[in-house]
Amino acid sequence: LALILDFGSQYTQLIARRARELGIYCEIVPCHTPLDDIRSAAPQALVLSGGPASVYTPDAPRCDAGIFTLGIPILGICYGLQTMAVEFGGTVEPSTRREFGSAQLRHIGTSQLFDGLPESFDVWMSHGDHVTTPPPGFTVTAHTADALGALEDPSRRLYGLQFHPEVVHTPLGRDILRNFFIGIAGMRADWNMQSFVESAVADIRARIGPNRAVCGLSGGVDSAVAAALVAEAIGDRLTCLFVDNGLLRQGEFDEVLTMLRDKMDLNVRGIAAGERFLTALAGVEDPEAKRKVIGRVFVEVFQEEAAKLGQVDFLVQGTLYPDVIESVSVKGPSAVIKTHHNVGGLPETLHLKLIEPLRELFKDEVRAIGRHLGLPPELLNRHPFPGPGLAVRIIGEVTPARVALLQRADAIVTEEVRAAGLYDDIWQVFAVLLPVRSVGVMGDERTYEHVCAIRAVTSEDGMTADWVRLPYDVLHRISRRIIGEVRGINRVTYDISSKPPATIEWE
């Protein structure tokens, strides 16, 4: 086990992710974790993360200095290096200018951290302070043009990097971390999905004990994988609720329900509440107002259904790391997190304790766990779908007729993209129903009907996106079929906007 002491860096999770990729099991704990707790966890290595603070301010976060006498290897990264330097009598001062971005690092001497690496390579810097005098006993092992790059005292097994080896902009960072965990700390690279699942299941079992849990499924990957892990731990004491809000894709409610029940063997209740949502949405045009209405009705429906279950103490959510806005560990457990869009507001109103087994993971890791658990590929490879569903793809008022129209157009889009073998290369592809009507001619008759837009994007994480250069013949088939088969749409356009400045969804 390696422990990562979190000083609040936006990159802390990435350190954990890189360690996992190397087959190293690690856990993230707050920087102020008491020495006794650290000792009883018996870690083989410690990493001190970066952080936004300055070490010389009075309230700068510190770790228990006792960790430095445990005799286990410690790697300080950025702020982690600086706090270690100050602890041992070095000095840290503000730089005249912030060093931010790529820099050339040159290493000197024979540090084991840089074993097998070229003498000079690119690293990612992001700091305002720097070490001006290394502490006694430490040697500087690398530098950039502007600052000290690394220092160490191998006799006390203490190492520090001013740059961030965990980000992709330090291409050789993985080798450095490997040198630390495996070369210096002598850890074994035996961590994998199987071990993740085993330890997650054991944790969940211990936390829930003999009690029961409820999980709201959205039909997407995250909630399904979270539910599968919890079901592995407590079996039928987990009840899953899958709400049909009337805004799902064509046939989706039944398909997903069957898949969750028959292929995943989950204890799931389907709740057909479409009418209730659509009634509440009548007359609502503003996108944010629609989201609020949907969120509110969802909470009502969920609450009513959960109440029917009797005593339930835990709520399972498929929150992923990118959903966690702030580093919770430094600010304390009350720090604000973005509750899962789909079940926003539930924890407070239901007084349930949260179980979030995917909280430290990234989407691709969640898919890998899902594969490992044997979840059906058609579920794992599904495109992300917004909680408010088709409501944010029907511009203006949502009516049952418009939902039906969009469902049919959208089904054609998906069918054709799948048939062309492109579905798995695309982040999201869908149709949007516009409130605009345009004139057309069908046979000898004039038509005056809806316009539908097609949107297809590639993306890594939904934060940025590029529109997909769909082949013309695929676009042609989509357009011909929608106009031919969906009465009420007589024109199809293709959205060629990237994010930013556009967003993926139209609302």
The residues binding ligand XMP (CB under 6 A) are 291, 341-342, 384, 386-388, 392, 428, 462, 499, 503-505
Of the two residues 233 and 320, which places its CB atom closer to ligand XMP in the complex? 320
Which residue, 194 or 464, has its beta carbon nearer to ligand XMP?
464
Nearer to ligand XMP, 77 or 281 (CB): 281
Q: List beta partners, residue 213.
A: 238, 314
Is 246 annotated to bind a ligand? Reply is no
Angle at 463 between CA 460 and CA 467, to 5 degrees: 70
In the complex, minimum distance from the CB of residue 341 to ligand XMP, in angstroms, rounded to a whole number: 3
Q: Which is nearer to ligand XMP, 32 or 341 (CB)?
A: 341
What phi, psi does 491 have (nearest 5°)?
-155, 140
Nearer to ligand XMP, 393 or 491 (CB): 393
Please state the closest distance from residue 324 (CB atom) to ligand XMP, in A. 15
| Residue at token pair 């740059």 | 163
DSSP 446-487: EEEEEEEEEEEEE-SSSSSBEE----HHHHHHHHHHHHHHST
Q: How far is the CB of 220 from ligand XMP (least distance, A)?
A: 8
Active-site position among 107, 130, 164, 383? 164
Is residue 438 a known part of a binding site? no
- Residue number, 77 or 392, with CB nearest to ligand XMP: 392
The tokens describing 158, both together, are: 């203490």
Judged by beta carbon, residue 212 or residue 499, the one nearer ligand XMP is: 499
Minimal distance, residue 80 CB to ligand XMP, in Å: 33
> What one-character-per-residue DSSP string does 31-44 give?
TT--HHHHHHH--S
Minimal distance, residue 340 CB to ligand XMP, in Å: 7
Catalytic residue among 130, 143, 152, 166: 166
Report whether 361 contacts 370 (CB < 8 A).
Answer: no
Q: Which amino acid is at 169?
A: H
Q: Would residue 215 show up in a list of annotated catalytic residues for this protein?
A: no
CA-CA distance, 131 to 79, in Å (whole number)?
A: 10
Tally of residues, the chain: 507
Least distance (Å) from ligand XMP to the CB of residue 399?
A: 20
Q: Is the dihedral of CA 99, 324, 159, 180 positive or negative?
A: negative
**Whole-angstrom distance between the N-terminal and C-terminal Cα of the chain?**
45
Position of tokens 């600052």?
147
Q: Indicate which residue of 78, 215, 240, 452 is catalytic.
A: 78
Minimum gap (Å) between residue 209 Cβ and ligand XMP = 31
Residue by residue, DSSP assigns 214-283 as EEEE-SSHHHHHHHHHHHHHHGGGEEEEEEE-S-SPTTHHHHHHHIIIIIT---EEEEE-HHHHHHHHTT
The sign of the dihedral angle between the CA atoms of 383, 384, 387, 393 is negative
Determine the residue with CB nearest ligand XMP: 341
Q: What is the smallest separation between the CB atom of 506 and ligand XMP, expressed in angstroms?
A: 8
Nearest to 355 by CA among 218, 469, 470, 215: 215
* 497 annotated ligand binder: no
- Please report which residue ranges of 334-443 form alpha helices under DSSP H: 346-350, 363-372, 377-380, 400-419
The DSSP letter of residue 53 is S
351 is catalytic: no
Q: Is 389 annotated as a binding residue?
A: no
| Amino acid residing at 30 | P
Question: Toward ligand XMP, which CB reaches closer, 60 or 502?
Answer: 502
220 known member of a binding site: yes
Give the closest residue to 211 by CA, choosing from 230, 236, 185, 237.
237
Query: Active-site residue 32, yes or no?
Result: no
| Rg (the chain; Cα; Å) | 26
How far is 460 from 504, CA to CA, in rounded Å? 13
- Nearest to residue 16, comparing CAs of 464, 325, 327? 327
* Catalytic (active-site) positions: 78, 164, 166
Binding site, annotated residues for ATP = 218-224
